[in-house]
Amino acid sequence: MRINENMRRLVRETSLSTDNLIAPLFVRHGSGVTRPIGSMPGHSQLSVDMAVREAETLAEMGVPAVLLFGIPNHKDAVGSENFDPQGIVPQAAYAIKKAVPELIVISDMCCCEYTEHGHCGILNFPGVEGYNERIPEGYLLNDPTLGILGKASVVHAQAGADIIAPSGMIDG
């Protein structure tokens, strides 16, 4: 069966092409920003204008999709920039879809990059919406977190995200 390259191509089970790729884009506020990510050689945090340029280049190379990860300026207990229509990911999704409408835009849906504590959800502390004094402080509040993720998903979709990637480690 492996007599030559054409036979191997004909019978192989798996093939990989640019059709199978999704490129990650790490977007942050600012203009003209390209900040290399030391732990990820070849990747940078990009301002929206630079993310649009990168998306255009990727589309020209045949990459069909990008996955947006937000690097917000402001983090708080509930990750409010995640569901802000003027947040960094909605801005990037809108700008990329406007520049490259055929490119599939995927939005990472989690709270960890938007919360000051870095957890995937809202933690039970006094003053936080959904606080429950019967639950120990610091525990993850599942239902309020689901509400926030749902609200953020709608905002990202309205901004142009074609797919919402449910990466938040939350039940339900």
**Structural domains of the chain sorted by starting position, each given as residue range(s) with its CATH number in brackets:** 19-165 (3.20.20.70)
19 beta partners: none
Rounded to 5°, the CA angle 103-107-108 comes to 140
CA separation, residue 158 to residues 30, 31, 87, 107, 113 (Å): 22, 23, 12, 12, 21
Whether residue 164 contacts residue 156, with contact meaning beta carbons closer than 8 Å, is answered with yes
Please report, in angstroms and rounded to a whole number, the separation of the first and last CA atoms in the chain: 48
Does the pLDDT at position 171 exceed 90? Answer: no
The Cα 168–Cα 103 span in angstroms is 24
pLDDT over 70 percentage in the chain: 99
Does the pLDDT at position 95 exceed 80? Answer: yes
Does the pLDDT at position 172 exceed 70? Answer: no
* Predicted local distance difference test score (pLDDT) of residue 31: 98
Residue that the structure tokens 């797919």 belong to: 163
Mean pLDDT highest for which of 3-12, 15-24, 59-68? 59-68
The Cα 122–Cα 115 span in angstroms is 8
Does the pLDDT at position 83 exceed 90? Answer: yes
Whether residue 51 contacts residue 94, with contact meaning beta carbons closer than 8 Å, is answered with no
Read off the pTM: 0.89
Q: In the structure encoding, which two tokens stand for residue 119, read together?
A: 């957890």
The Cα 44–Cα 36 span in angstroms is 4
Does the pLDDT at position 18 exceed 80? Answer: yes
- Please choose, from the candidates 122, 114, 119, the residue with its C-alpha nearest in 3D space to the C-alpha of residue 147: 122
Question: Which of 9-23, 29-43, 82-96, 150-164 is predicted least confidently?
Answer: 9-23
Residue that the structure tokens 């599942």 belong to: 142
Does the pLDDT at position 5 exceed 90? Answer: no
Does the pLDDT at position 1 exceed 80? Answer: no
3-state DSSP call for residue 99?
A: helix
Whether residue 35 contacts residue 77, with contact meaning beta carbons closer than 8 Å, is answered with no
